Amino acid sequence: MESSLTKACQIKIQNFEGPLDLLFHLIEKNKVNIYDIPINDITDQYMEYMFAMQELDLEIASEFLVMAASLLHIKSKMLLPDKKVKDEEETDPREELVLKLVQYKKYKEFSKTLKQREETYAKVFYKLPEAMEFEPERELLSLSPFELVKVYKDMLEKNRKKINDTSGKMTQIMQHEKVSIRSKIREVMRTLIDRAFFSFSELFCVRVKSRTEVVTGFLAILELSKLKKVHLEQKKQFSDIIIRRSPESF
């Protein structure tokens, strides 16, 4: 007759997906810190599971045997430390095993999240879109000739009110300012007769001149610069432009 421990081992071993799963189960069952594993106790319990599997004539996977050998090796290193490295800083023999268990814990927790999503969305049912055809409702209107005439007259009256009667009285819509580049060139040249240089804002100030005059004046100095009648200077971007007369022009 099989003992209760053997039955418990039989049920649990069949559900373990690998040696790391079994180790993780032992750590959780004993409520120990994964970064400070009591390797003696965990190794002994792991070997008990292996012996239980042998008693039940279960086929033990090779990966379980490899893990058993690794645990026994770590246990022996912790019980019998190497005398050669006693003067050096000793590394924890459990370090590699802890890293594997931490990584396995991350995958195990994420797999639970995926399992929950699968169970949630398994209860969701989708319905494919269907083409809906609607026949337009046709409404027949019965209008008498008198009503049509009335509607037509109303439309004419609304159109008449939209017409501006004062449009014929207008003589001029907008006054066009006549400013030529030639006149601004003459204005610049007259200024340079008495002065060696001047700034653009002095002659073409936006507070005194209109926008048309300022733009035309700017085009005038560009034309004079192209003809080498003046030299243009600007110390930095967006600063005032200095117009100097060219010695060859006077």
- Same domain for 113 and 10: yes
Q: Is 155 contained in some domain?
A: no
Name the residue with higher pLDDT: 92 or 45.
45
Instruction: State how far the alpha carbon of 9 is from the alpha carbons of 15, 18, 46, 47, 58, in Å.
Output: 10, 15, 11, 12, 11
Q: Please calculate the CA angle 167-168-170 and round it to the nearest 5 degrees.
A: 70
3-state class percentages of the chain: helix first, strand second, coil last, to nearest 5: 60, 5, 35
- Same domain for 94 and 186: no
- Same domain for 110 and 23: yes
Q: Please calculate the CA angle 90-91-97 and round it to the nearest 5 degrees.
A: 155
Domain tally for the chain? 2
Predicted confidence (pLDDT) per residue in 177-209, tens digit:
678 889 989 999 988 888 888 899 888 888 888
Instruction: State how far the alpha carbon of 38 is from the alpha carbons of 34, 45, 91, 207, in Å.
Output: 9, 11, 16, 89
In terms of residue numbers, what domain contains 59? 4-121
Q: Is 27 contained in some domain?
A: yes
Q: Which of 121, 145, 168 is the last residue of a domain?
A: 121
Q: Is 226 contained in some domain?
A: yes
Predicted confidence (pLDDT) per residue in 47-66, tens digit:
888 888 777 656 667 788 88
Q: Is 236 contained in some domain?
A: yes
Q: Is 59 contained in some domain?
A: yes
Q: Is 86 contained in some domain?
A: yes
Q: Is 240 contained in some domain?
A: yes
Q: Is 138 contained in some domain?
A: no
